[in-house]
Structure 1
Amino acid sequence: MSFRWRYENASGTEVEGPDKAFDDQAEAEEWFSATWPQLLDLGVDQVFLLEGANQVYGPMSLHPPA
């Protein structure tokens, strides 16, 4: 199964973002680590990591802790 990210805004509504699939969790997380500032600029406030249809974790905020 492949890994992908689901993107949401601050109200929890799914928003569009890069539609990329990754072979493993480490590859997905490495891509996210390099890309999260651009996602924030696109209006993404939080993400979920999915493996197939199953949620691995999330929501994970893209904003620094208050």
Structure 2
Amino acid sequence: MISPGATNPELTQRGYQHIMRTAGLDSSQGPTAAKYILETVKPQRIAIIHDKQQYGEGLARSVQDG
């Protein structure tokens, strides 16, 4: 199976043998986004907003932990 949007690391940690992704993992995208925000944008305050759906929750958490 090829997934264009599965970003949750748990998908491949389950041991499925035939899963391929075309998108980066939340655990990679989050710290990269956090670094960009902090070093390039240099905001005084940051708010992370998401709709609490599974698709965005992992990435939001990963950016926050960044």
Q: TM-score, normalised by structure 1?
A: 0.30
Higher helix share: 2
Higher strand share: 1
